[in-house]
A and B are shown apart, each in its own frame.
Chain A
Amino acid sequence: MADNTELERRVPAAGKPRDWAGALGSSAPEIDAADAGHGFLGSDLYEKGKTVHNKRIDGSFRRFKWLVMLVTLAIYYITPWIRWDRGPYAPDQAVLIDLAHRRFYMFDIEIWPHEFYFVAGMLIMAGLGLFLVTSAVGRAWCGYACPQTVWTDLFQHVDRFIDGDRNARIRLDKAPWGPAKIARRSGKWAIYLVISLLTGGAWILYFADAPTLTREFFTGEAALVAYATVGILTGTTFWLGGFMREQVCIYMCPWPRIQTAMLDEKSLIVTYKDWRGEQRGSLKKAAKNPDQYGDCIDCLQCVAVCPTGIDIREGQQIGCITCGLCIDACDKVMAEVGRPRGLIDYATLEQCEAEAAGAPATPAWKALMRPRTFIYFGAWGAIGAAMLFALGTRTHTDLTVSPDRNPPFMLLKDGSVRNAYTLRLRNMEARPRDMEVALTGMPSGAVMWTEAVSLENAAPVQVIAVPANETKVVRAYVMLPPGERADSFSFRLTSLDEQREQDIATTTFAMPGNE
């Protein structure tokens, strides 16, 4: 069987002596139980739900999965509680999406609504990042970091903790309902519910001061939307993590579909090396006819440990999230029977073909070295660098001016002409600042005043106090004495502190004959 190529394995030529249906039937008896739903319009239209009872396994991929789970869950639950001192005028929560005041705080970075392009940039980076990860290490996102995967894993550990490992759980599933089963089920679901509540609860803490909101939440003072959000997220976590699990990946999630378009023969995937494994046979059979059988002893451990309940030996499929647990299981078995590891392994289809043709095994990291990966990384890094540059060079003041259009100008008694403008002075520092606004490019005699400064104190320069972390909207009047003319001019903003940040806003001055 060593001459089988990957292609042939998936589409066997007619007449090949391989009983696929039989192999399938024997390989996954628990999963492929004849459970097709009958009776709906007389056809088998709907498949009865099946529970995946994955077996406990230890190995390098499992340990990596533990690590990723620990880190991601820690980030999710702990982040809202990290404090970050920003002085008296800004919240002290390190990561806060302040929808009410339309600010996004992330440690030292504060994003204002007008800087939403940073968020857009992060989303683009996240999208490109998925492409990059897919190009480099296949469906690693699905296998390790996706919230659905992490929470499903967590819930499966709860199953194991309450009901025991695979066989015990299968037995319990089949057992009739009785006090013991009811106790176990309700205990398990209670733990599901606690996890779900914590998950939904942690989510809202990103949107308000975490300690305050937690206290308000339990004293019944929090906003209705907080309770509703927690309720919905608790429900979805309970349902998606506790019950839907792999169904989400297989039927609901668009990402596996996109990935089917992104993977190619150079992508790192979890592969069963059929050229080495086939013909499958138990140790006993293989001992009798060593020439006829491959390395796969058909022990079904790869199926038993799979969190989505698939048989990796069927090749690439949408249900495979490439978590590598089957690799752990198979390596362990191969070690026990004294055969080399890696019958199931991370490899590209191309490497598999080469190996099948007799080439030496290629280390998996070589799959990383390809132009596509570097191009994605370049694009991803370029956007990141551009955003960092923009972040580092942005000023914390801004001035925008919109002239009144109706009326465009106002003729006063003495023949002078007055224009009204709406000035928006933005102070992105977490402290109040005085800002100087000066008329530039206007004939001498032009003066400006605001609602706070009366006409008697009109002058070409005004100082406006802008509160911390706010955009102050000021209605300003500019008056030109009779006989003078003006067209285009500017307001120049200067912050009256050591930074002396500047901004210039050019606008027009309307007057009779120049509207």
Chain B
Amino acid sequence: MVTKRIDQPTGTETVGHEWDGIEELNTPLPRWWLYTFYATIVWAAVYVVLYPAWPLIDKATAGTLGWSSRGDLAEEMSAADLARQGVVEQIAATDIEKLIASPELMGQAISGGAAAFKVNCVQCHGAGAAGSAGYPNLNDDDWIWGGTLTEIQYSITHGIRWEGADDTRINYMPAFDGMFDAGQVDALAGHVLSLSGKGKTSAAGATLFAENCAACHGPAGGGMPDMGAPALNDAIWLFGGTEAEVKKQILAPRHGVMPAWKDRLDPVTIKMLAAYVHSRGGGQQAAPAQDEVAAETDIAQAPKAETDG
């Protein structure tokens, strides 16, 4: 069946097969092509020895070079750590309130803080740091425990009402359940809401507030960040600002808890987190001379912060 012959018009030998009168000319590939093919085989053989190649039951052969993508990652991570080291040391050596004077360093700190925030903080405060009911919004200008870099850093380091951290920020509002009758609660809630222009005040409500609440929240409801007493005279309410929610908070206050991060994060990361939170739009400047101003008026009027409600 195989009969090779020379094809007359082209002068080329046929491969010797014939299908319904159709024949194929034998036009061989160049030999370098063949060598290229051999080279790929050699390449594959060498590769199989050097690199992970054959799948086994629970892993693949390791290869004599010991290369792995995980190792690559570890190398890149340590290289990145090394590259960051200079900046990290600089941030560590800079007083946190001075950070803001150096836009370059502050920018680095904010970037580092943003990354740490995504890992550690978004679970409660949200990806945009906007919080939710019971979890403070970090973008606004209302700070329960103070909004300067130092105060934010302290809050992150020691946490809020965190058992086991000696220096944690802690306060408890008494539960007034059983101390007031329904009318008194109505009057008090009305007065509290009136502080921010929403409810109707009354003589009874004002009296109840002055006697029971003003010590911490201030006579005008301006709050007191030093002891974590939220401002009641603003538009921001941590546990909601309707009359029912305010009443609920008077009778059975809820108290948020934040872990003390000093045990889990290094001081530089905490510093960077403070810078990031501060940069979200509501950060406050440290007052240069606090002792001159009377505490009460300062808290009530300055654009500093307090919060909650």
Contact = CB atoms under 8 A, between A and B. Distances in A.
B30 A49 contact: yes
B32 A247 contact: yes
Interface stretch (B174-182, B185-193, B228-236): B228-236
A413 interface: yes
Contact of B235 (A45, A404, A405, A415): A415
Given A251-B30, A406-B127, A413 B140 contact: yes
B29 interface: yes
Q: Which of B33, B231, B303 has the most A CB atoms < 10 Å from its CB?
A: B33
Contacts of A406: 126-128, 130
Interface string B41-54: 00000000000000
A21 B12 CA distance: 8
A412 B6 contact: no
Contacts of B139: 407, 410, 420
B128 A21 contact: no
A48 interface: yes
A21 B30 contact: no
B30 A451 contact: no
Contacts of B142: 412-413
A24 B7 CA distance: 12
A21 B29 contact: no
Of A451, A477, A482, which is in contact with the most chain B CB atoms at under 10 Å from its CB? A451
A187 interface: no
B9 interface: yes
Q: Which of B28, B129, B236 has the most CB of A within 10 A?
A: B28
B140 A410 contact: yes
A420 B140 contact: no
Contacts of A413: 140-142, 231, 234-236, 305
A477 B130 CA distance: 15
B137 A410 contact: yes
Nearest to B30: A47
Contacts of A407: 126, 128-130, 137, 139
B290 interface: no
Contact of A46 (B34, B129, B130): B34
B11 interface: yes
B4 to A, nearest CB: 10
A411 B29 contact: no
Nearest to A44: B28
A251 B33 contact: yes
B32 A24 contact: no
A411 B141 CA distance: 9
A127 interface: no
Interface string A415-441: 100101000000000000000000000
A411 B240 CA distance: 13
Nearest to B139: A410
A455 B56 CA distance: 63
A49 B31 contact: yes
Contacts of B32: 49, 244, 247
Contacts of A45: 28-29, 34
Nearest to A11: B9
Contacts of B236: 411-413
A451 B279 contact: yes
Contacts of B141: 412-413
Contacts of A11: 9
Contacts of B33: 46, 251
Contact of A414 (B9, B13, B235): B235
Interface residues of A, number: 34
B30 A412 contact: no
Contacts of B137: 407, 410
A244 B28 CA distance: 17
Contacts of A251: 29-30, 33
Contacts of A418: 140, 281
Nearest to A512: B235
Contact of B140 (A24, A44, A412, A482): A412
Interface string B279-306: 1011000000000000000000001010
Nearest to A25: B11
B3 interface: no
B30 A411 contact: no
A407 B138 CA distance: 10
A477 B30 contact: no
A20 interface: yes
Interface string A13-57: 000000011001100000000001100100011111100000000
Interface in B15-69: 26, 28-34
A12 interface: yes
A486 to B, nearest CB: 17
Contacts of A451: 279
B10 interface: yes
A310 B154 CA distance: 84
Interface in B202-243: 231, 234-236
Nearest to A418: B281
B102 interface: no
A513 to B, nearest CB: 14
A228 B30 CA distance: 29
Contacts of A25: 11
A44 B234 contact: no
A116 B31 CA distance: 42
A46 B127 contact: no
A414 B234 contact: yes
Contacts of B281: 410, 418, 420, 477
B26 to A, nearest CB: 6
A12 B9 contact: yes
A139 B299 CA distance: 85
Nearest to B305: A413
Interface in A390-407: 404-407
A47 B29 CA distance: 6
Contacts of A48: 30-31
Given A412-B235, A420-B281, A24 B11 contact: yes
Nearest to B110: A451
A356 to B, nearest CB: 19
Contact of A404 (B126, B128, B303): B128
A40 to B, nearest CB: 7
Contact of B29 (A12, A46, A420): A46
Interface of B: 6, 8-11, 13, 26, 28-34, 126-130, 137, 139-142, 196, 231, 234-236, 279, 281-282, 303, 305
15 contacts: A36-B28, A37-B34, A45-B29, A46-B30, A46-B31, A49-B32, A251-B30, A406-B126, A407-B126, A407-B139, A410-B139, A410-B140, A412-B236, A412-B282, A420-B281
Instruction: Please list the 5 inter-chain residue pairs (A to B) with the smallest Cβ-Cβ separation, ordered nearest first.
Output: A406-B128, A407-B130, A413-B234, A21-B11, A415-B235
